[in-house]
Amino acid sequence: MARSGAARPEEIRRHNLGLLLEQVHRDGELTRAELTQRLGLNRSTIGALVAELSELGLIDEHVPTGNERAGRPSHVVTPRVDGPYAIAVEVDVDSVVTAAVSLGGEVLIRSDHTLPSTGNTPDDIANRIAADVDAVFESLPVGARSVGIGVSTPGTVTPSGGRVEHAPNLEWRDEPFGAILTRRLPKGIELVFGNDANLGALAEHLRGAARGFHDAVYLTGKIGVGGGLIVDGKLLTGAGGFAGEVGHMLLDPAGPPCHCGSRGCVETYVGEAALLRLAERTAAPSRDSVAEVLRAARAGERAALRGVRGVAVALGRTIANLVNLLNPQAVIMGGSLASVLELCRAELEAELDVRAMSEARREVELRTAGLGDDSSLMGAAELAFGPLLADPVGTAGLGESA
Amino acid sequence: MARSGAARPEEIRRHNLGLLLEQVHRDGELTRAELTQRLGLNRSTIGALVAELSELGLIDEHVPTGNERAGRPSHVVTPRVDGPYAIAVEVDVDSVVTAAVSLGGEVLIRSDHTLPSTGNTPDDIANRIAADVDAVFESLPVGARSVGIGVSTPGTVTPSGGRVEHAPNLEWRDEPFGAILTRRLPKGIELVFGNDANLGALAEHLRGAARGFHDAVYLTGKIGVGGGLIVDGKLLTGAGGFAGEVGHMLLDPAGPPCHCGSRGCVETYVGEAALLRLAERTAAPSRDSVAEVLRAARAGERAALRGVRGVAVALGRTIANLVNLLNPQAVIMGGSLASVLELCRAELEAELDVRAMSEARREVELRTAGLGDDSSLMGAAELAFGPLLADPVGTAGLGESA
């Protein structure tokens, strides 16, 4: 019923430029003929748009070689190799990954750093990121243009200011992380922040396992459980950007106490901490301790398998609630939940059969993440590319230095 | 990230005509100056759009009388009194309401019929509707134009065909209700169907308690529990139109068995059947038996109050899950849930304090339905008006008979 504002003729060209660039960014390579068909515009309009994006230094065009079909081959449009790049940063509880990502989604450079497993302050993390960003700038050719930095954070965060409202596993609450980070970076760099699971959902929708689905859910198991919801092709953010807190959905009012103050939340049954508890491990959650349980479960160890099965049943209940509410085409599992799906799909699907309404249940596919462990990192790059894709002409500075 | 298709100049005028008509339809009366501001278009464009909608017989314009401000008063635009109307039908388990609704949302005629409390077949309901629709046509002036019929059904239903996949409280499953109804109606009438709670959400968003909120949830308590989700200003339908099944969200895996085959669904704690059980009543759910419990609770009867409190606590848990997932600005309570909110707001809010994440919890308002018991009926009218508002020019037949 609601529609966006009235369209004015002068906005159409810019809108169409953004649409075309977005298609090329998503697919990496498209012919003019494909662009003509996808955008529903005529050939001369497509030609003009391609020429303008080319002048802006954003795309390249070439005539395909080795084309064996008869007739004049359609020009191939690709993102420009020396075009603008995004810096993507993924902050996790015990690691920081920093990467330069080109239009088209290619990782040009990346660095992975492991941090102490607990006690990392906003200053610690900001220092690590600043050093890594410096290294990126030094590695890239002189004249390379950055669209800015997208930062994935494991918690609720304000998009532009980077104030971390709550990152339970880092034990941060109301931290001015964005301001701390800005002070350590060269002046004038655009910084934008997002929740890790939301960014994972964005990237899986754009170029991962949820590609082509208008309605999808991304769930990721780390120490806790994160969720990102794609509705009608867009990330569902909610009124204040706090939507998608699947980890604190109630599964049992008499369940174990949760760090959020409630009981029986999804996180008390489904995250990595829950997996270790259900598998009767005493180790704290970490990459190594979780990998050990999953390895043991694959080898058939009974306690480990009981743990994974327990997580699978609770995950099935969680997904059933999401299927009943959102009727998605796909639910994508990342982090340790991808392994849970691989090991115990039958148990998970059986729970879904009982708990989900049959019409919506029939339509949903369960898949592991297409981008593996890099969903949130690639989503952080998308966040940084956002303004350029929304308005390739208006995005400051890019046109000038082309 | 995803955007709709490329905009073409020739579509803009029609798009803007729809936007303008939608504003007038929503507000009932707007000045040209207000329209200019809302649509962000210049005055001459607004003038041309108003003239075209006026020629199409959709709106009227007049100079306000009694205007005491200095300067030339801005013309007032209103929906045309003899403009096209929608027929809205609300099917419930034991009642059928049929109404003619004008642009602007005024009910011109309505008839309310009570049916036997159980055992109504698709044929019974279709016969009732056909007789009521005939009566509507006979009551309205010759030449009055109908945009079609919107039908609200208490279950999952396909929008255009009207196949009822599942209406548990009518005990219908996979019934070709749309086909049965079409055979009884005059040829050529557009029929469109929707789930009652989804339509309630639409109408509450347009002109009820969720007006002005981009993200809202509508919950209604009848025998079961229905939910309609407004996300980013639009109804969330999901991949197949089955989204919003709040009634079958899991609240306790060991809870009472639900008719859906699962256990501990919201409906087993929150609907009218649950209210009667928790209030230790033996009567079957009906208007009268539910009204009796609510009356007794208001008078302070202990068993009745325990029943309402029990529903309020479970409703609080349900809303907490929705707040964590969707971060809405408002949750609107209709049907018997409106009374539950009025009687036990403190218990409900306390549960929300414990179970919902604090950032999203702070932002949400709990309200009773603005349209009272008519939310779904008014939503059915909106469904019928949909094509006209999307394209006032192209909607068949309307232009010709103006």
Q: What is the CATH number of the domain that holds A151?
A: 3.30.420.40
ipTM of this predicted structure = 0.90
A341 with A269: CB under 8 angstroms? no
Distance from CA of B131 to the nearest CA of A (A): 30
A383 with A199: CB under 8 angstroms? yes
**Are A91 and A163 contained in the same domain?**
yes
- Domain assignment present for residue A95? The answer is yes
Return the DSSP state at A263. B
**Are B287 and B184 contained in the same domain?**
no
Give which of A169, A182, A295 is closest to A222, Cα–Cα: A169
Q: In one letter, which amino acid is A161?
A: G
B232 with B214: CB under 8 angstroms? yes
Buried b (16+ CB within 10 A) or exposed e, B286-307: beebbebbbebbeeeeeebbeb
- Domain assignment present for residue B4? The answer is no
Q: What is the largest CA-CA distance in chain A?
A: 70
Instruction: Retrieve residue B144's tokens.
Output: 């009055």
Question: How far apart, in whole angstroms, are the C-alpha atoms of residue A178 and residue B60?
Answer: 53
**Are B49 and B134 contained in the same domain?**
no
- Domain assignment present for residue A395? The answer is no
Q: Which residues pair with A109 in a beta bridge?
A: A100
Q: In one letter, which amino acid is A219?
A: L
Give which of B102, B144, B126, B225 is closest to B181, Cα–Cα: B126
**Are B243 and B276 contained in the same domain?**
yes
List per-residue pLDDT tens for chain A, 402 residues long. Answer: 334 456 666 678 888 999 999 999 999 899 999 999 999 888 999 999 999 999 999 999 988 876 556 667 789 999 998 889 999 999 998 899 999 999 999 999 999 999 988 899 999 999 999 999 999 999 988 888 999 999 999 998 988 899 998 898 899 999 999 999 999 999 999 999 999 999 999 999 999 999 999 999 999 998 889 999 999 999 999 998 889 999 999 999 999 999 889 999 999 999 899 999 999 999 988 889 999 999 999 999 999 999 999 999 999 999 999 999 999 999 999 999 999 999 999 999 999 999 999 889 999 999 999 999 999 999 999 999 999 999 998 774 443 332
- Domain assignment present for residue A4? The answer is no
Domain extent, residue A358, equals 211-370
Return the DSSP state at B374. G
Q: What is the 3-state secondary structure (H, E, C) of B101-145?
A: EECCCCEEEEEEEECCCCCCCHHHHHHHHHHHHHHHHHHCCCCCC
Contact residues on chain B for A253, CB-CB shorter than 8 A: 251-252, 317
- Domain assignment present for residue A20? The answer is yes
Is pLDDT of B1 > 80?
Answer: no
Instruction: Retrieve residue A340's tokens.
Output: 């849970």
Residues A116, A119, A124, A128, CA torsion sign: positive
Of A19, A49, A79, the one marking the end of a domain is: A79
Return the DSSP state at A7. P
Among A residues 349-368, those touching chain B with beta carbons less than 8 Å apart: 354-360, 363-364
- Per-residue confidence (pLDDT) for residue A310, from 0 to 100: 97
Contact residues on chain B for A252, CB-CB shorter than 8 A: 252-254
Q: Which residues pair with B366 in a beta bridge?
A: B331
Instruction: Retrieve residue A1's tokens.
Output: 């019923």
- Per-residue confidence (pLDDT) for residue B35, from 0 to 100: 94
- Domain assignment present for residue B3? The answer is no
B233-243 pLDDT tens trace: 999 999 988 89
Contact residues on chain B for A206, CB-CB shorter than 8 A: 1
Interchain pair A245, B360: CB under 8 A: yes
Helix (H) or strand (E) holding B292: helix B287-298
φ, ψ of residue A117 in degrees (nearest 5): -75, -15
**Are B301 and B353 contained in the same domain?**
yes
Interchain pair A214, B239: CB under 8 A: yes
B304 with B337: CB under 8 angstroms? no
**Nearest CB neighbour to A250, from listed B241, B251, B358:** B251
φ, ψ of residue B259 in degrees (nearest 5): -60, -15
Instruction: Retrieve residue A293's tokens.
Output: 């349980």
- Per-residue confidence (pLDDT) for residue B50, from 0 to 100: 95
Among A residues 148-177, those touching chain B with beta carbons less than 8 Å apart: 156, 165-166
Of the pLDDT bands very low, low, confident and very high (cuts 50, 70, 90), residue B82 is: confident
B234 with A2: CB under 8 angstroms? yes
- Break chain B down into helix, strand, coil percent, rounded to 5: 45, 20, 35
What average pLDDT does the structure give for chain B?
91
Of the pLDDT bands very low, low, confident and very high (cuts 50, 70, 90), residue B74 is: confident
Helix (H) or strand (E) holding A151: strand A146-153
Question: How far apart, in whole angstroms, are the C-alpha atoms of residue B310 and residue B312?
Answer: 5
- Per-residue confidence (pLDDT) for residue B125, from 0 to 100: 97
Question: How far apart, in whole angstroms, are the C-alpha atoms of residue A333 and residue A362?
Answer: 18
Q: Which residues contact B138 (CB under 8 A, 6 or more apart)?
A: none
Question: How far apart, in whole angstroms, are the C-alpha atoms of residue A251 and residue A98?
Answer: 36
**Nearest CB neighbour to A324, from listed B248, B251, B329:** B248
Q: What is the CATH number of the domain that holds A66?
A: 1.10.10.10
Distance from CA of B52 to the nearest CA of A (A): 16
Q: Which residues contact B208 (CB under 8 A, 6 or more apart)?
A: B332, B369, B370, B371, B375, B378
Helix axes A32-39, A9-27, angle to 10 degrees: 130
Residue B192: Cβ within 10 Å count: 20
Nearest CA in chain A to B202: A1
**Are A230 and A184 contained in the same domain?**
no
**Nearest CB neighbour to B360, from listed A6, A240, A261:** A240
Helix (H) or strand (E) holding B25: helix B9-27
**Are B274 and B381 contained in the same domain?**
no
B15-66 pLDDT tens trace: 899 999 999 999 989 999 999 999 988 899 999 999 999 999 999 998 877 6
**Are B98 and B194 contained in the same domain?**
yes
For B108-115, the CB contacts below 8 A with 24+ separation are B108/B140, B109/B136, B109/B139, B109/B140, B111/B135, B111/B136
Question: How far apart, in whole angstroms, are the C-alpha atoms of residue B264 and residue A359?
Answer: 20
**Are A221 and A287 contained in the same domain?**
yes
Q: In one letter, which amino acid is B184?
A: R
Distance from chain centroid for Cα A401 = 29
Distance from CA of B288 to the nearest CA of A (A): 30
Return the DSSP state at A141. P
Of A42, A62, A79, the one marking the end of a domain is: A79
Helix (H) or strand (E) holding A108: strand A107-114
Distance from CA of B299 to the nearest CA of A (A): 30
Domain count, chain B: 3
Among B residues 16-35, those touching chain A with beta carbons less than 8 Å apart: 16, 18-19, 22
**Cα dihedral A249→A252→A256→A257 (10° resolution):** 50
Helix (H) or strand (E) holding B311: helix B302-326
Question: How far apart, in whole angstroms, are the C-alpha atoms of residue B302 and residue A364?
Answer: 45
Question: How far apart, in whole angstroms, are the C-alpha atoms of residue B8 and residue B10?
Answer: 6
* Cα-based angle B369, B373, B374 (whole degrees, multiple of 5): 95
Strands (E) located in B135-224: 146-153, 156-157, 164-167, 172-175, 191-195, 216-221
φ, ψ of residue B43 in degrees (nearest 5): -65, -35
**Are A94 and A39 contained in the same domain?**
no
Interchain pair A12, B15: CB under 8 A: no
- Domain assignment present for residue B400? The answer is no
**Are B92 and B177 contained in the same domain?**
yes
Q: In one letter, which amino acid is A101?
A: V
Interchain pair A233, B2: CB under 8 A: yes
Question: How far apart, in whole angstroms, are the C-alpha atoms of residue B384 and residue A206?
Answer: 35
Q: What is the pTM of this model?
A: 0.91
Of A36, A58, A79, the one marking the end of a domain is: A79
**Are B366 and B385 contained in the same domain?**
no
- Domain assignment present for residue A231? The answer is yes
Mutate to test the interface with B, among A22, A250, A315, A361 (most CBs of B within 10 A): A250
